[in-house]
């Protein structure tokens, strides 16, 4: 199977991207952004093609996507207006407040990854590694010295995969009462230094969605 990774997201792939993202993160966000039909509508509306890399197979099907966050916005963040359009004025307000408390931070010192998804049928085949390699190169081109991501503390499989990619845990953040809505109690911040001049960026190993 051939895999092509490219910067951005073609418009015709937006429905696939929304579904892939929701399949990966619906377990975490389902109580807040569900039901499924509204969540898919929301993500198809808000995902930013200028803040991601996409992986497609030989048939042009989207099999993986990796988003990132900058001071100018995030791959799947959206706005209050987007939430209101999909969930109504009241529904958008309380959902937006909860999402803001969950993750409004922008790390200006490190390149911040904002969600990696690989289709279930293609996990363990190196697709995630290709996407991570693209993110490392993007971060280096933008002048960052390291990359950062957050992973649920109890997701040991994902954490082990990140550690094989060179990430190391730097701190754990507790959700407090929000754990009852988002289905997990804490997350671990992990950081990976980028290679220095003349050093090879390793993208060995397999990769899957982080959460």
pLDDT at 49 over 50: yes
Query: Is 201 within the bounds of a domain?
Result: no
Query: Is 72 within the bounds of a domain?
Result: yes
pLDDT band at 104 (very low <50, low <70, confident <90, very high): low
**In this structure, what CATH number is given to the domain that contains residue 69?**
3.40.630.30
Name which of 180, 148, 183 is nearest 162 in CA terms: 148
Say which DSSP state 80 is in: H
pLDDT at 108 over 70: no
Query: Is 165 within the bounds of a domain?
Result: yes
Mean pLDDT score, 135-145: 94
- For position 203, what pLDDT does the model report? 36
Give the integer Cα–Cα distance in Å for 133 and 141: 12
Query: Is 205 within the bounds of a domain?
Result: no
- Which stretches of 118-155 are DSSP H helices? 127-141
Residue 24 vs residues 53, 96, 104, 119: alpha-carbon distances, Å: 16, 20, 20, 8
- 176: containing domain: 3-193
pLDDT at 211 over 70: no
210 touches 158 (CB < 8 A)? yes
Mean pLDDT score, 41-64: 96
pLDDT band at 198 (very low <50, low <70, confident <90, very high): very low
Q: How many domains does the chain have?
A: 1
**β-pairing verdict for 146-152 and 111-118:** parallel
Query: Is 40 within the bounds of a domain?
Result: yes
What mean pLDDT, rounded, does the chain reach? 86
Give the integer Cα–Cα distance in Å for 121 and 30: 22
* Residues above pLDDT 90, as percent of the chain: 60
Query: Is 199 within the bounds of a domain?
Result: no
Name which of 12, 206, 9 is nearest 118 in CA terms: 206
25 touches 115 (CB < 8 A)? yes
pLDDT band at 181 (very low <50, low <70, confident <90, very high): confident
Mean pLDDT score, 155-183: 83
Q: Under DSSP, is residue 15 helix (H, G, I), strand (E, B) or coil?
A: helix
Query: Is 36 within the bounds of a domain?
Result: yes
Query: Is 126 within the bounds of a domain?
Result: yes
pLDDT band at 131 (very low <50, low <70, confident <90, very high): very high
33 touches 24 (CB < 8 A)? no
């Amino acid at each position: 199977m051939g895999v092509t990774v490219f910067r951005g997201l073609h418009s015709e792939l937006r429905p696939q991207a929304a579904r892939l993202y929701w399949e990966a993160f619906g377990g975490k966000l389902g109580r807040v952004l569900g039901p499924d039909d509204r969540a898919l509508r929301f993500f198809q509306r808000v995902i930013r093609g200028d803040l991601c890399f996409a992986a497609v197979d030989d048939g042009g099907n989207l099999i993986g996507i990796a988003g990132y966050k900058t001071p100018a916005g995030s791959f799947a963040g959206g706005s209050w207006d987007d939430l209101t359009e999909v969930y109504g004025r009241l529904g958008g307000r309380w959902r937006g407040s909860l999402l803001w408390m969950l993750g409004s931070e922008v790390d200006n010192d490190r390149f911040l990854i904002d969600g990696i998804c690989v289709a279930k049928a293609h996990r363990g085949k190196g697709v995630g590694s290709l996407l991570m390699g693209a993110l490392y190169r993007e971060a280096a081109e933008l002048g960052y010295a390291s990359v950062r991501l957050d992973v649920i503390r109890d997701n040991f499989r994902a954490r082990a995969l990140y550690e094989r990619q060179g990430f190391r845990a730097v701190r754990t953040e507790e959700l407090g009462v929000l754990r009852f809505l988002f289905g997990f109690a804490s997350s671990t911040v992990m950081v990976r230094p980028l290679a220095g001049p003349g050093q090879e960026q390793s993208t060995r190993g397999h990769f899957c969605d982080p959460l």
